[in-house]
Chain A
Amino acid sequence: MRDALFSFFGSGAPVAMAAAVVALVASVVFLRTRNFLYDALALAATKTGFALLAAALAAGVLWSRAAGGVWWAWDTRLTTALVCGLVYAAYLMLRRAIEEPTERATSAAVVSVLAFLDAPLAAIAIAWWRARRTLPPEGGPPPGWGTLASGNALAMLLAGAALTVILLRREERRRAQDAERRAALTL
């Protein structure tokens, strides 16, 4: 049962990568077209990816404790996920720090591009780093991690897609409300 849960949440990690790609494409399209729908999509995809990554990390940490006795074993995949999570957390924090919608969308899109370029470099650097350190050899990935060919991954993909759509709608509504609020303020 426990393994099944770990497996389920763990398979969120590759779906989070897919979400990152969606966010990147949406950000680039936004920069080209300045259509706010793409900004909302980039935000929704990033939030989804971040949530999936957080769940996958939690599952990974718990599995690590259950199987290996340590909370954090500097496993390559988990560490990379953590770093990517930090980068996308910075994206989300930046969005909250900018009031004006157009500036926010533009700045966020730029960060999204930089973050996406950084992720593979971080993954490589962490893999090299780990190979160098005198740590116990990795005892295989946590269940579900990095594996796409399973029913779990498909289920996660559907869950991720649903979450993205929900968040997208919410962001669109928020934008409409913001416009009304601004209109009311200039009376």
Chain B
Amino acid sequence: MGYFRQVAVVAFKDLRAELRTKEAINASLAFSIVILLLFSFAFDPSEDTMREISGGLLWIVFAFAGTLMLNRSFAREVPNDCLDALIAAPLPASALFLGKCLANYVLVLAVELVSLPVFGVFYNVHWAKQFPELLLVLLLGTWALTVIGTIFSALTVNIKLREVMLPMLTYPILIPALMSAMQLTTALVSGTAIGADNVDSLKMLIGFDIVFTAVSLVLVETVLVG
């Protein structure tokens, strides 16, 4: 069976299981709405304030809500020892990893695309002024979050303090990607297109994605089998 077909089988399995129970996606959505709400109590959102904090706020929400989802990624294989069966199956560890990444990617993006309008409503911000470019940043930044979250989900799958260790590992490593995504998002939400002064952040995001996707694909077999 082709590599990408196997990736698809894993991805669809995760998506089907998640959409049937909706545990993680509901928690993630609820969490993101609560954070957005809490922050709106904290600030008095004037036009200028919003212009400055939008990127930061959005990506904090995405990162925290996303981690809830990513924690489930390999954790869902633990009950009933399903992870053993997946490792024993004749599919490359990288295909298993990629399949899970894709499923996580779709789920986290879905939460983000719902959070954006909520953000717009709570803070009275027109965020869609540069929508195509904003979508690009969302896609790139979420992939960074997904790849790092998924590899660490695999790494921490058998640890007792998994829920604590996953964020502790993920957030510091994500700092370059998050910083870039925040900076780009702030600019785009205020209506400024990506220009000469922003494009380096975009390059950082792309570089980060490429480097960590490649390294994770190589290391995942070691992480899972030892």
Contacts and interface: CB of A to CB of B under 8 A. Distances in A.
Interface of A: 31, 83, 86-87, 89-90, 93-94, 97-98, 102-103, 106-107, 110-111, 113-115, 117-118, 121-122, 124-126, 128-129, 132
A128 B201 contact: yes
B196 interface: no
Contacts of B54: none
Interface in B134-191: 151, 155-156, 158-161, 165, 168-169, 172-173, 175-176, 179-180, 183
B200 interface: yes
Nearest to A100: B158
Contacts of B176: 118, 121-122, 124-125
Contacts of A115: 173
Interface of B: 151, 155-156, 158-161, 165, 168-169, 172-173, 175-176, 179-180, 183, 197, 200-201, 204, 207-208, 211-212, 215, 219, 222-223, 226
Nearest to A129: B179
Contacts of A132: 183, 197
B204 A124 contact: yes
Contact of B159 (A83, A86, A97, A114): A97
A107 B222 CA distance: 8
Contact of B226 (A103, A111, A113, A129): A103
B169 A94 contact: yes
Contacts of B197: 132
Majority DSSP secondary structure for residues of A touching B: helix
Contacts of A31: 222
A122 B175 contact: yes
B141 to A, nearest CB: 13
Given A86-B172, A124-B176, A110 B219 contact: yes
A59 to B, nearest CB: 22
A87 B204 contact: no
Nearest to B220: A110
Nearest to A85: B172
Contact of B215 (A90, A93, A117, A124): A117
A111 B155 contact: yes
13 contacts: A87-B172, A90-B165, A90-B168, A90-B169, A93-B165, A94-B156, A98-B159, A107-B155, A118-B176, A121-B208, A122-B175, A125-B179, A128-B200
